[in-house]
Amino acid sequence: MIGGLVVSLVIGYVLGSIPFSYLAGRLRGMDLRNHGSGNLGASNTYRVLGAGYAVPVLILDIAKGGAAVLVMGAIASGMGWESNSWHKSVAALGAIIGHIWTVFLGFSGGKGVATAAGAFVALTPVPTLISLAGWLILVAATRYVSLGSMSGAATLPIAVYLVGRGSTTPGAEFWLALAVAIVVLGKHRSNIRRLLDGNENRLTKIRKESTL
The tens digit of pLDDT for each residue in 143-201 reads: 888 898 899 889 999 999 888 765 556 788 899 999 989 988 888 888 899 899 988 87
pLDDT 10s digits, 10-38: 999 999 999 999 999 999 999 999 998 88
Question: What are the residues facing 102 on neighbouring strands?
Answer: 108
Percent of the chain clearing pLDDT 90 (strictly above): 58
Which of 17-26, 105-114, 203-212 is predicted most confidently? 17-26
170 versus 9: which is more confidently predicted? 9
- The count of domains in the chain is 1
Range of the domain at 43: 2-197
- Say what the pLDDT of residue 167 is: 58
In a domain, 79, yes or no: yes
Which pLDDT does position 72 carry in this prediction? Answer: 93
Angle (deg, nearest 10), helices 172-187 and 145-163: 160
203 found inside a domain: no
In this predicted structure, what is the pLDDT of residue 168? 55
Whether the CB-CB separation of 85 and 8 falls below 8 Å is answered with no
Please indicate, yes or no, if residue 211 is contained in any of the structural domains. Answer: no
First-to-last CA distance in the chain? 50
**Is 210 part of a structural domain of the chain?**
no
